[in-house]
Structure 1
C-alpha cells in the first residue's frame, strides 16, 4: 500500500530549500473575489526562481542524492518548467544535467534550460516520449533520472508550497491547484491535509489532457490515447503511480477547464492582475472564473508558472479576446458597387467598433456575379456590444459569417 509523503519530510524539504527558493507573494484578486463572493488570493509561483514551482521538487530530489550519485550526473524530461528546475537545481548542487525535451518545446524554455547549464536533447513530440528517452539515457550512462512528479522527494519539495499557503493565509478554506502528472497537487494536499484536514483541495486539468478523471473512475492510472491543449506544461498522458495514490487519498476533487477558459484566465491575469502566466499556470484561475466547481472562500489559487513563449502569448491574447467577444473576425457579403466598402466601414464606426484589418475579395468563384466579400477583424467592448454590432449589420442587409468564433 502506497504511503502518503509525511509532513516531516515536507518540513525537512522546506529546511533544505531555505536560501534556495523565494517566498512568493500571496496577492489578492478582486475579479476572483467577485466571482466567489468572498476573499480570493493568488499564490504567485510565476515569480519563483526559474519561473515556476518546479525548482522546489527538483532541488530537493537532487540535494538528497549521495555524492557518488551526483557525480554520475542527472537526467530529466520536460516540456520546459521541470527542465529549468532540474538545470538550476543541478547547478546549485554541483551536478551535471542532461534534459530531454519534446521537439516542439517553447524556444524560451529551451534557451533558459541551456542557460542554467544543462545539455538539452530534443526528442519526440510529447513529454511521454521525452521521458522514455531520458530513462534510456539513465540506463545507458548511469545518470540519476529525476522524474518530473512521481517520486517522494519531488512531492515533498512541491509540498512546501502548501506549508507557505497555510502560513500566509491561515483562514483559507479552499486551495485550487493545476494538475499535470500530479506532483504539485499531491505535495500541496499532503501538507495541507496533515495539518488542516478541513481545507478543501481541488485539482484542475486542461480538458484536452485530462488523465486523472478517467483514472480516478477506473481506480488506477489510465493512459490517454491522445491529448492536446495549449497548456503544454500539464499535458501529461498518464498519472504517476505515486501521485495517483496521493490524489486518490488527499485531493477532494479534480475538475477540467477548456482552452477557451484558460485563454480568458490569462487575459484577466494580464489586464487585471498585471501578472504574466503560462497556460498551465492559469488553469486554477480558469476553473474559478468558469465556475467549474463550487468553492468556499477564502480561496487560494496557485498560479504555478509564468514561462510563456511571447508568440504563444500573442495567440492566447487574441484567443482570449475572441472568447470574450472582444475581438471578432467575420466576413460580409454585399453588392459590388462604388462606395459600398466605405458605407460598411462607416456603419462599423458609428457602432463604436475598431477595425483592425480589412481584406476585400471580388474574384472568389464562390461569389455571385456582382457580389463582393469583405473579411474584417474588429475590436468590441464585449459580448453585448458584439451582438449589437452583428445585429445592426444583418438588419442593414449584409450577409455576415463569423470566422473562428468559439
Structure 2
C-alpha cells in the first residue's frame, strides 16, 4: 500500500500538495474522464467540459476522500474499525474503502433513508445502522459510538486527509486539460472545492475556481459574508448531497484563501442542468451532481463569458429514480422555457379560442379550469405556455394579454403554484370560511402523517390537503385549517409538531384559485 503521512489540523499548501500526490486513492477509485459537452458548448459559445465522477465505483467523488483518510489510519485504528454518519454518497465511499482494506465500517443512517441507499451501503460491505429522524441525530449517534466503542469517526468533509483525497480530482483535471480558464465545483460542506482550490492554486493559479451552492443551502456564501463559518437556520433538501447547514472549519479556511467566486442556483435551474447532462452526454445526475453545471450556465450568462474553456464536476449520480418525475416537471421552468399565468377570461362560448388566438403560434403546455358558481360571469384559468425566448417572451405575453383586456398574474416564480396549485385548480369551497393555509415539510417515513393528524387534525377542521410524492426523503404538503386569524393554541401545536412550516395564507396563487374569497388579479 502506498505510504500516506497523516496531516495536522491546518496543513500548509505545500503539505496538501505532497499529501495529494501520495494519496493512495487509485487502489479503489479510477481516473474519471473529462468529456466535452458539444451541444451546450455551442449554445453557450464556450467549450464546456464535464468531469465524470459519476463513473466512480460508488458513482460519486466521495470515495477519494474516504479511502485516503482510512488508508492513513494506524494499524490499531484499523483493527477497531471506523464509523460515520451519512444518508448518501459518503456512506458508500466509506463502506467500499473499509471493505477494500479489511476494516469494519459502521454507517449510521437516518431512519427515513431510502432503501436504495441502505442497500448500496450493505452491498459495498458496510454495516448500516438506522437511527434518528435526520442527519444531525445520526451524526450524534455515530460520534457517541466512536467514543464508546473506539471506532475512528470518518467525517464527510472537514478533515485534511479527506480534503487531500478529494484534491486528486484536481490533479487529474490538469493532466487532462492544461488550458482550462475556470473550474466550477459544487459546494456542500466544502471538502471537494477546498481540495480542488488548494491544489490548482499551487500549480496553475491563473485558473479561476468558482463554487456553486444551492440557494437554500448556501453555507459558504454565508460564511464568506460573516468572515467565519456560521450555521444556517435551515437548508433545503432537494439537492440533498449539498444540504449542509455549516461549512467546515478547515474547508472554510482554504475556501476563503483560494476560491475566486461563489454563485447560487435554485432548484429549477438544477433541474434544467440535469436535463442538459442527459441530453448531451447521457449521464443521469443526482441534483447535487448537476449543481456545478447549473452554476456554470448562470455565471456565463451573468458575466457574458465567451470563448473560454470551462470545466465542471458532475459530482454524483446516486439519484432516486422516482425523483426524476420532479426534475422532468421543473426543468422547463429552470431553462426559462415555460411560463405559468393566472388569467381571467369571460365565462362564455369561444373565450378559450379567442384567448389562444392572442397567444398565436405559441404552444400551450397546460390549461386548468373548472366552472364556479361563485363567479358565473368569469372563468379563472391556470395556463402554461412554452417559451422560445425566455424572460423577454414572458414579459411580452404579459403585455399582450393585458392590452387585450385580460386580468393576468405571472405565477412562473411562485413556488406554491408550481408545487401544489397547478394540480388543484378548481377547488374553491362553496361557502365562506375563516381559513389559514400552511405548507409543511413531512419526513418521508411511516408515522409522519399520523403524527400530524394527532397533533393538529383532531383540534381544528382541515379544509384543504394536498401532497404529491416526488421520490425525495421528505414530502411537501399543503394544508388549510378553519380557524380565526390569531390562535395562540394553534401556533403552540405547530411548534410541538416539529415539522418545518410556513404560513401561505397570503400567497397569490392560493387567493386566485383556492380561497373562498374572490380576489382581483394583480398584473406583474
Tell me the TM-score normalized by structure 2. 0.68
Distance in 1, Cα, partners of 2:279 & 2:358: 25
Shift of 1:198: 2.8
Give the Cα separation in 2 of the matches to 1:140 and 1:235.
28
User: What's the offset of the Cα at 1:351?
Assistant: 2.6
- Pairing 1:361–2:370 present: yes
The equivalent of 2:219 in structure 1 is 211
Give the 3-state SS of the residue equivalent to 2:372 in structure 1: coil
* Cα distance per residue 1:203-235 (max 9 Å; x no partner): 222221112223234333222222225221111
1:204 aligned counterpart, secondary structure: strand
Counterpart in the other structure of 2:197: 189
The match for 1:11 is 21
Query: Are 1:263 and 2:271 an aligned pair?
Result: yes
Contact 1:127 1:236 in 2 (8 A): no
CA shift at 1:346, angstroms?
6.6
1:111-161 deviations in Å (ceiling 9; x for gaps)? 322332333344455544432222122112222111001112211111110
- Structure 1 pair 281–321 and aligned structure 2 pair: CA distance change class (3 A): same
Return the match for 2:326 from 315, 329, 338.
315
Aligned pairs for 1:127-206 (under 5 A) are 127-206=135-214
Tell me which structure has the larger Cα radius of gyration: 2
3-state SS of the aligned residue for 1:361?
coil
Post-superposition shift, 1:19? 4.4
The within-5 A match list for 1:324-335 is: 324-335=335-346
Q: Any idea what SS the aligned residue of 2:58 has?
A: helix
Say whether the 8 Å CA contact 1:206–1:229 is kept in structure 2: no
* Separation in 2, partners of 1:386, 1:107: 42
Q: Secondary structure at the match of 2:293?
A: helix
Alpha-carbon separation, structure 1, partners of 2:322 and 2:398: 30
Q: Is 2:64 aligned against 1:53?
A: no
CA-CA distance at 1:379 after TM superposition: 4.6
Q: How far off its partner does 1:52 sit? A: 0.7
After superposition, where does 1:102-121 map in structure 2 within 5 Å?
102-103=110-111, 105-121=113-129
SS in 2 for 1:79: coil
Quick one: structure 1 residues 240 and 355, their matched pair in 2 at CA, closer, same or farther if it must change by over 3 Å?
Answer: closer
Counterpart CA distance in 1 for 2:327 and 2:179 is 34
SS across alignment from 1:50: coil
Question: How far apart are residue 316 of structure 1 and its match?
Answer: 2.3
Cα deviation digits, residues 294-323 of structure 1 (max 9, x gap) = 578322211111222223222123222123
Greater RCO, CA 8 A, separation 6+: 1
- Structure 2 matches for 1:63-142, cutoff 5 A? 63-103=71-111, 105-124=113-132, 126-142=134-150
Check conservation: 1:278, 1:307, Cα contact below 8 A: yes
TM-score, normalised relative to structure 1: 0.86
